[in-house]
Amino acid sequence: MWLFLLIIIFAFSVAGFYKSRIVRVRSSLQPNEIKMTQFKMDKEEIKQAAIEFKQALIDWKSREGIIEAFSTYRDQWTEEDVIKAVNKETRTVKPVLEAFEPIYRLAIRGDINEPFAFQSYMMSYVGRVLGDELSWPEVQGPYYRIITSLKGGLTAEEMWESPYYKDRKLPKHYSEVVKEIETEGWNHTTDG
């Protein structure tokens, strides 16, 4: 009988602990209590990161880069093999460059004034398969550098909780740059 009473008391105390924990977690998730950390957009760092990322993309899928990368698998390459590989890899990197071009131009001009969820943008634009391509060692460092610089000093958690991530905010002059790119003949489409 005493054992039964101890088990019931123990069960109620555990239930009370979890109930108070749930209330604390719920109250910590209230939108009124979200504090936005100040951000600082280092425009020079963003510009340098954009230049480095674009150059890494170009070098990664260049003729020389392809020959160097694939020579570890085969000693002998015919000109036809090289042309096929270059064409295939060019088709792979082209959508990534096209998706990046508006952000690149805004970064070069210094027109990115608020944090921007670049990784989310790239994944939504180029898809999972090409998004995975960005994890290759040749481009991973520059890719992460621009992701970090475009967060404006926010941590990943702060970025995820911010309206810049939640609302998928694009940089202010993004639509104008896309129109400019399309008039130049690029194949960039967006709902912008």
The average pLDDT across 172-185 equals: 91
Going 54 to 55 to 61 to 62, the CA torsion angle's sign is: positive
**Over pLDDT 90: what percentage of the chain?**
33
Decide if 66 contacts 85 (C-beta within 8 A). yes
pLDDT of residue 27: 41
pLDDT of residue 11: 54
Q: What are the tens digits of pLDDT across the range 51-65?
A: 999 999 888 877 777
Q: 14: part of which helix (H) or strand (E)?
A: helix 2-28
Q: Is the pLDDT of residue 38 over 80?
A: yes
Decide if 60 contacts 153 (C-beta within 8 A). no
137 vs 67, which has greater pLDDT? 137
Q: Which residues contact 104 (CB under 8 A, 6 or more apart)?
A: 50, 53, 54
pLDDT of residue 36: 57
**Over pLDDT 70: what percentage of the chain?**
73
**Which region holds residue 75: left if phi is over 0, alpha if psi is between -120 and 50, else beta?**
alpha
151 vs 67, which has greater pLDDT? 151
Q: Is 149 exposed, middle or buried (0-12, 13-18, 19+ CB in 10 A)?
A: buried
Most confidently predicted of 4-8, 82-86, 114-118: 114-118
CA angle 161, 151, 149 (to 5 degrees): 165
pLDDT of residue 180: 92
Q: What is the DSSP letter of 191?
A: -
CA angle 143, 41, 55 (to 5 degrees): 30
pLDDT of residue 128: 66
Q: What global pTM score does this model have? A: 0.71
* Spatial separation of the C-alpha atoms in residues 172 and 178, rounded to whole Å: 12
Task: State the helix-helix crossing angle for 137-150 and 118-133, rounded to 10 degrees.
Answer: 170
